[in-house]
Amino acid sequence: MTTVSTYRPRTRRNVELALLLLAVAIVVLAYVNVELSVSGDFPPGLVGQTIGLLAISLAFHGLLRWRASYADPLLLPIVTLLNGLGLVMIHRLDIAKGRGISDGLALKQLTWSALAVAIAAVVLFLLRDHRILRRYTFISAVVAFVLLVVPLVPGIGRSVNGSRIWIGLGPFTFQPGEIAKIALAVFFAGYLVQTRDALSLAGRKVLGMTLPRGRDLGPILVAWVLSLLVLVFEKDLGSSLLLFGLFVSMLYVATERISWIAIGLTLFCGGAYLAFLLFGHVQSRVHLWLDPFAPGQSDQLAKGLMGMAAGGLLGTGLGRGRPDLTYFAESDFIVPSFGEELGLVGLFALLVLYVLLVERGMRTALGVRDGFGKLLASGLAFAVALQCFVVVGGVTRVIPLTGLTMPFLSYGGSSLLANWSLVALLLRISDHARRPVDEQPAGPSSTGQAHTEVVVLR
Amino acid sequence: MNAPIRRLSAVVALLFCALLVSSTTIQVVQAKSLQDRPDNRRTLLDSYARERGQILVGGTPVAKSVPTKDELKWLRTYPQGELYSHVTGYYSFTYGAGGGLEGADNDLLSGSSDTLFYRRVSDILTGKTPSGASLELTINPAAQKAADQALGDQRGAVVALDPKTGDILALVSHPAYDPSLLSGHDTKKVQSAWTRLNADKGRPLIDRAIGGDLYPPGSTFKLVTAAAALESGKFTEESQVPGPATLDLPQTTVNLPNDDHLPCGPGNKTSLTHALQVSCNTAFGWLGMRLGADALRSQAAKFGVGDKLEIPMSVTPSRVPAELNEPQTAQAAIGQYDVRMTPLQVAMISAAIANNGVVMQPRLVKRVLSSDLEVINQPDPVELSQAVSPDTSAALTRMMETVVTSGTGTAAQIPGVDVAGKTGTAQHGKGLAPHAWFTAFAPAQDAKVAVAVVVEDGGRLGNEAFGGKVAAPIAKSVMQAVLGS
């Protein structure tokens, strides 16, 4: 005897609410911790600030209940926690550097955070179905290209920390590469979903690997040249690695062919070595990486390493270390700041939060039914992972130091805007992935693409 | 597309594993070596976070930390500035701790010494603010002031010892400097002071009493030669030895003359006592060749020459050259050729003669105190060696007394006190005025103080200088200060 029972997937919104309250509690605790160890007193506006933080996060949570009730329940609490801890650390560095509340970086970061959450809410509200983005595949390509190139335009582009990946408009500076990351992921996803058959099936077998046809190599070569241009002209290894790594990983997901990764790695290594031979700024970065204490060069990496060493296993405690002695302690070097005050234990916790965030993105990619959604979700998630790797790997000497920011933690408006929007997209896709088929909104195209994808997979 | 997504997730896990490994390497494996780096500002700031111990002379601090409002929290001050500069040294945020006790006993003063471990634990348990240990010195403030004033603007050094304990009663090296210049928190000012002090031709940062380039001891070394002669058993203080105007040295055309180019006694003969009294070069040159280089070297070693002493600052070992031929031995016997000594070593020779031949280990720190002035450590005096027998030391004392009563050192006479001494005038290069030496102890029979004075290039008298004229009055005022207090 079989009984037919209808299994309805649960929305898990209450789990999200509980985790969200926990995240806010941790942030408030960290904030109180900083104030207690610096001034010995509770922060004066604690109740108001807590209510403000709660209001923002609960508003977003409410929007999810209303507009994306099946969205992944872990994403929002994780990014709220990361964003909040970043704020606490920036506030803590404000205190150490004698900046008041009104002229401090923390207030600016808080303003940017609110704006970023608002924009993410708008994205989530307006974009009812991620598949709509597929229509904008080539517009995304143009947008991404413009965003990548605009820092090179004289008068607008700015060099910060040796990398020309900033633009300045009046009093505002902006890192357009952060937004380009999303546009690129949309473009790659849309492009690869169309061309994947040609890229994955044609070719001949060499040494157990199916090598693509010569004419199919075009796209990867274009991406390679573009990433090398970024490396050479914007002097930024991080953006370059991010751009190319994103393309190669999405190409692999689309085609399931290892050969693309082999070709990609070979191209990247060759390009990087060529750049090392040809350009002084690449060489100096490599030398700094190999020996951060050699005299006569920047000591920024050394300062960060000493900060982390001061933290040891358990850290000095929030507000009790000297992260202000490290350059860019609130942006590129915010990870050593956490390592110093929260210790290796705290740093591990932060890294695990990022792993969770990324793997939830990957889980979304597994669950969603359309190819475009799979590619976009895995691409966005991998971009976050790669960016974390480039930033943390840079300050812990896994790879040469670059000029990227740590998503959600680092000070910087562009980074916050881009990453909150990225999470909004992931939330939208995950809502789609977990929503029962009978509740699905009608697809944007009448061809029923989602359905065919499932058939192709099995 | 699900299989590659899963593999990509695995790649993500691998990437993050690499980050876990790298951060563990830095924060655990390399943490100690990174923190011990001299350019690590955090470690330095850490040492400023707690109150550094005081350095006390006669109950008065000569180095103490006062609270400030800037990020370093504590400012190191030296209330008497130059007077104790080579005793305290400096404690500089920019250049570290050095130049004296600040450097040598840094771990005690900062409170990081292992010997303070249990005290640190109890401080944590009782909630007391941890602070460094204080040092109470052996310095006699009156003697230190007298030495500083008597040396004045002349370059040189003065060391006074308590012969019975090895306590250092005065330690002066001129030119001196004000350590406050280096301990300030204005990095620019400190840097310019540091540059100026290092460029100074007088080299004020060098403690001439225990380090620097060392000095040829000149005729003060005749005490070692005389001790070796008496200890050999072949000579007594009355023994007649040759004392011509010029001693013919074998294997060379260079001869050894007396300073006045006259014989030291009738018939070119002199007693050992008289030879010391008038500082007869030819007699001691002859003695040196007669006794041999090995005897001189081993007698010097018994007085402490060659030892690596820590008072607790490390003292540059004095030396007698390892290879000496006969004419070189004759030169060495009167403290020339390549014999080199610190003023501390010369003072130790006098102190040993005053102390029945026993060399005491010189020391600067009498007691280590906790922040609430409780005694943590009070080391007993330590005997280093028996340099000469009590008989020899008594004979040498009698001989040295004649130097002061009617010899070359009459300027050191103190009314009502028997003083035993020896002058020295050390040539150290053609055309350069000689260094003037004097070493003495008093009272001769029950010595309270032994002293050594060196004045570079003859001091104010230049080429006219002899140890008896320039250095003896300085030694006298230091001994008077000790005996009077």
Domains and CATH numbers, chain B: 218-365+385-484 (3.40.710.10)
Residue A449 within a domain: no
Q: Which amino acid is at B113?
A: S
Burial class (CB in 10 A: 0-12, 13-18, 19+), A33: middle
Given a cut of 70, whether residue A44 has pLDDT beyond it is: yes
> Which residue in A254, A306, A388 is closest to B34 by CB distance?
A306
Q: Tell whether the torsion through CA atoms of A458, B4, B10 and B12 is positive or negative.
A: negative
Higher-confidence position of B465 and A221: A221
| Least confident piece of the model among A47-56, A204-213, A407-416, B318-327 | A204-213
From chain A, the residues in CB contact with B31 under 8 A are: 308-309, 312
- To the nearest whole Å, the CA of B335 is away from the closest chain A CA by 46
pLDDT in tens, B140-180: 999 999 999 999 999 999 999 999 999 999 999 999 999 99
For residue B238 the two structure tokens come to 């009355």
Inter-chain residue contact B41 with A344, CB threshold 8 Å: no
For residue A344, the enclosing domain spans 133-433
Asked whether the beta carbons of B53 and B107 are under 8 A apart, the reply is no
| Least confident piece of the model among A144-153, B14-23, B413-422 | A144-153
Reported confidence tier of residue B485, pLDDT bands at 50, 70, 90: low
CB pairs A-B closer than 8 Å: 130
Q: Which amino acid is at B417?
A: V
Distance from the Cα of residue A287 to its chain's centroid: 27
Residue A83 within a domain: no
Residue A162 within a domain: yes
Task: Give helix A237-255 / helix A258-278 axis angle, nearest 10°.
Answer: 160
CB atoms within 10 A of CB A352: 12
| Least confident piece of the model among A15-29, A430-444, B340-354, B464-478 | A430-444
Phi, psi (rounded to 5 degrees) for B375: -75, 125
Give the pLDDT confidence score for residue B130 in this predicted structure: 67
Residue A417 within a domain: yes
A354: closest chain B residue by CA: B16
Give the pLDDT confidence score for residue A446 in this predicted structure: 43
pLDDT in tens, B175-197: 999 999 998 888 889 999 999 99
From chain A, the residues in CB contact with B25 under 8 A are: 396
Residue A93 within a domain: no
Q: Which amino acid is at B432?
A: L
Rounded Cα distance, A386 and B16, in Å: 9
Give the pLDDT confidence score for residue A164 in this predicted structure: 75
Q: What is the DSSP string of B133-179?
A: PEEEE---HHHHHHHHHHHTTS-EEEEEE-TTT-BEEEEEEES---T
% of chain B with per-residue pLDDT over 90: 58
% of chain A with per-residue pLDDT over 90: 45
Inter-chain residue contact B22 with A365, CB threshold 8 Å: no
Q: Which span out of A143-147, B386-390, B404-408 was modeled with the highest average pLDDT? A: B386-390
In which element (H, E) is residue B440 found?
strand B435-442
From chain A, the residues in CB contact with B18 under 8 A are: 389, 393, 398
From chain B, the residues in CB contact with A346 under 8 A are: none
For residue B462 the two structure tokens come to 């230049």
Rounded Cα distance, B233 and B235, in Å: 6
For residue B457 the two structure tokens come to 């290039």
CB atoms within 10 A of CB B177: 21
Give the pLDDT confidence score for residue A456 in this predicted structure: 40
What helix, strand, coil percent values describe chain B, rounded to 5? 45, 20, 35
B412's CB contacts (< 8 A; 6+ apart) are: B404, B419, B421, B438, B440, B468, B472, B473, B475, B476, B479
Reported confidence tier of residue A447, pLDDT bands at 50, 70, 90: very low
Q: Over the Cα atoms of chain B, what is R_g? A: 27
- The residues with which B241 forms a beta bridge, in sequence order, are B270
Choose the catalytic residue: B47, B113, B219, B477.
Answer: B219
pLDDT in tens, B73-132: 888 999 998 999 999 999 988 888 888 999 888 888 887 777 777 766 676 666 666 678
Residue A105 within a domain: no
| Least confident piece of the model among A195-209, A444-458, B63-77, B143-157 | A444-458
Given a cut of 60, whether residue A458 has pLDDT beyond it is: no
Q: Which span out of A165-174, B128-137, B276-285 was modeled with the highest average pLDDT? A: B276-285
pLDDT in tens, B261-298: 888 888 888 999 999 998 889 999 999 999 999 999 99
- To the nearest whole Å, the CA of A253 is away from the closest chain B CA by 5
% of chain B with per-residue pLDDT over 70: 96
Inter-chain residue contact B12 with A382, CB threshold 8 Å: yes
For residue B178 the two structure tokens come to 């004000």
Residue A207 within a domain: yes
- To the nearest whole Å, the CA of A195 is away from the closest chain B CA by 14
pLDDT in tens, A235-283: 777 888 888 899 899 999 998 888 888 888 898 888 888 888 888 878 8
Which residues of chain B have a Cβ shorter than 8 Å from any chain A Cβ?
1-6, 8-9, 11-13, 15-16, 18-20, 22-28, 30-32, 34-35, 37, 39-43, 45
| Complex-level ipTM | 0.91
Q: Which pTM was predicted? A: 0.68
Q: How many domains does chain A have?
A: 1
Inter-chain residue contact A347 with B27, CB threshold 8 Å: yes
- State the average pLDDT for chain A: 86
Inter-chain residue contact B31 with A309, CB threshold 8 Å: yes
A 125-184 residues inside an 8 A Cβ radius of B = none
Contacts of the segment B76-81: beta carbons below 8 A, 24+ positions apart: B76/B52, B76/B102, B76/B179, B76/B180, B76/B183, B77/B180, B77/B183, B78/B178, B78/B179, B78/B180, B78/B183, B81/B178, B81/B179, B81/B180
Give the pLDDT confidence score for residue A2 in this predicted structure: 67
Residue A383 within a domain: yes
From chain A, the residues in CB contact with B17 under 8 A are: none
Q: Which span out of A389-398, B45-54, B430-439 was modeled with the highest average pLDDT? A: A389-398
From chain A, the residues in CB contact with B16 under 8 A are: 351, 354-355, 385, 388-389
Inter-chain residue contact A397 with B16, CB threshold 8 Å: no
> Which residue in A343, A359, A457 is closest to B12 by CB distance?
A359
Helix residue spans in A99-255 (DSSP H): 105-126, 137-149, 176-201, 218-233, 237-255
B40: closest chain A residue by CA: A306
- The yes-or-no answer on residue B219 being catalytic is yes
Inter-chain residue contact B8 with A252, CB threshold 8 Å: yes
| Least confident piece of the model among A148-157, A305-314, B175-184 | A148-157
Rounded Cα distance, B465 and B453, in Å: 14
From chain A, the residues in CB contact with B2 under 8 A are: 366, 374, 457
Rounded Cα distance, B122 and B466, in Å: 58
For chain B, the farthest-separated pair of C-alpha atoms sits apart, in whole angstroms, at 118
Q: In terms of Cα–Cα distance, which of B321, B344, B328, B346 is closest to B424?
A: B346
Rounded Cα distance, A157 and A163, in Å: 10
